Copies of this chain bind each other. A is one copy, B any other.
Amino acid sequence: MLRVAVLGAGRIGRIHAANAAANRQAKLVAIADPFGSAAEDLARELGGAASTDPEAVLARADVDAVVIGTPTDTHVALMLAAVRAGKAVLCEKPIDLDIAKADAAVAEVERLDGRVMLAFNRRFDPASQELRRAIDAGEIGEVRQVIISSRDPAPPPRAYLEHSGGIFRDMTIHDFDMARFLLGEEPVEVMATASRLIDPNLAEIGDFDTVMVNLRTESRRQCHINCCRAAVYGYDQRFEVFGSAGMLMNDNLRPTTVRRWSSAVTDAREPLLNFFLERYADAYRTEFEMFRAAVEAGAPMPVTARDGRQALRLADCALESALTGRAVRV
């Protein structure tokens, strides 16, 4: 029975807290959020003690593991504090927006032999797991090309964007992680193009809303990522893995398999699940369970702090490539 504290009672913290509470082999012990009554409200619903002081929660002896779902700029401090307090950590992405800080944090985690898992939820989607399993089983031979399509239903507010680190570090970072997950090799070169097709005013904050990135690994496998901050048809998440002996694809999820025929449309499928909380509900559940199982078994973490750092590095390379028009060595 893993005793868990959740730091951060916002949108993502609530997901983790609910999964901890519902997991038969875990116990939600505490929830901390510095802002108002968020932690209290959540604790009332799910159980556990509420607190406005994350540090105090890290000091509790009855906490084995900590989920960090606080704002990005607090990740490093809390992660290191948790590691030093001997807790296992499941930390939301990114580690930090600054690669130097992320590097230092990862080095410190490794020096301390800390148990840290980065919360790249998409890896834990059942389809992602099946893609990885099929590749490992040799079903498609040697991987040649990976294609990742990743579009959000609508852009976040400007206030969010200003502190987001930019589209590559905030949004595409998930796709960089999936690229590494599916390629099975480390990308060594990044080429990117970036546009402002939704909001030209993003120039004011040096950000973009529509990007394409190509990656290449040492053995010259290739990966393409396309990302857009808005798609009128909803949250679009598709993967294609093409290899010497076949191809694998996965598709978006929908509420049901019902198809509609009318005078206007034939064979129209249901709308896509709204956004990441709905689309990846299963993935978040599995992610928590795999964290729990790894911690309790003392097994290697399914995703490490170093994985978090690598995705951030690819994001930095993509930005540099988009700005300079040159392929950037990772």
Give the nearest-CB partner of A126 in chain B.
Answer: B256
Determine the chain B residues whose CB is within 8 A of the CB of A247 once the complex forms: 231, 233, 236, 260-262
Q: Which of A96-104, A113-121, A138-146 contacts its partner?
A: A138-146
Determine the chain B residues whose CB is within 8 A of the CB of A260 once the complex forms: 134, 139, 246-248
Q: Evaluate contact between A222 and B193: CB separation under 8 angstroms.
A: yes
Q: Evaluate contact between B221 and A195: CB separation under 8 angstroms.
A: yes
Q: Evaluate contact between B234 and A266: CB separation under 8 angstroms.
A: yes
Contact among B226, B254, B327 with A222 in the assembled complex (CB-CB below 8 Å):
B226
Give the nearest-CB partner of A46 in chain B.
Answer: B24
Q: A84 to chain B: closest CB distance in Å?
A: 36
Give the nearest-CB partner of A225 in chain B.
Answer: B224
Q: Which of A49-57, A87-95, A268-276, A302-310 contacts its partner?
A: A268-276
Q: Evaluate contact between A267 and B266: CB separation under 8 angstroms.
A: no
> How many copies of this chain?
4
Determine the chain B residues whose CB is within 8 A of the CB of A254 once the complex forms: 266
Q: A42 to chain B: closest CB distance in Å?
A: 14
Determine the chain B residues whose CB is within 8 A of the CB of A258 once the complex forms: 127, 130-131, 134, 248-250
Q: Evaluate contact between A224 and B222: CB separation under 8 angstroms.
A: no
Contact with B along A181-202 (1 / 0, CB 8 A): 0000000010101011110000
Q: Which of A67-75, A165-173, A208-216 contacts its partner?
A: A208-216
Q: Evaluate contact between A144 and B251: CB separation under 8 angstroms.
A: no
Within the assembled complex, what's the spacing in Å between the Cα atoms of A215 and B269? 29
Contact among B214, B242, B252 with A231 in the assembled complex (CB-CB below 8 Å):
B242
Residue A319 at the B interface, CB < 8 A? Answer: no
Q: Evaluate contact between A232 and B262: CB separation under 8 angstroms.
A: yes
Q: A165 to chain B: closest CB distance in Å?
A: 21
For window 117-170 of A, CB contacts with B under 8 Å fall at 126-127, 130-131, 134, 139-142, 144-145, 147, 149, 151
Determine the chain B residues whose CB is within 8 A of the CB of A196 once the complex forms: 220
Determine the chain B residues whose CB is within 8 A of the CB of A44 once the complex forms: none
Contact among B130, B233, B326 with A263 in the assembled complex (CB-CB below 8 Å):
B233
Within the assembled complex, what's the spacing in Å between the Cα atoms of A272 and B252? 18
Contact among B195, B233, B236, B326 with A262 in the assembled complex (CB-CB below 8 Å):
B233
Determine the chain B residues whose CB is within 8 A of the CB of A22 once the complex forms: 22
User: Can you list 17 A-B contacts with CB-CB less than 8 angstroms, sorted by A residue number?
Assistant: A126-B255, A130-B256, A142-B197, A144-B197, A144-B210, A145-B210, A147-B149, A189-B193, A193-B214, A214-B214, A224-B226, A232-B246, A246-B261, A247-B261, A248-B258, A249-B258, A251-B257
Q: Which 3 A-B pairs have the closest CB atoms?
A: A325-B327, A195-B220, A246-B262
Chain A residues proximal to chain B, CB less than 8 Å? 22, 126-127, 130-131, 134, 139-142, 144-145, 147, 149, 151, 189, 191, 193, 195-198, 210-212, 214, 216, 220-222, 224, 226, 228, 230-234, 236, 240, 242, 244-263, 265-272, 325-327
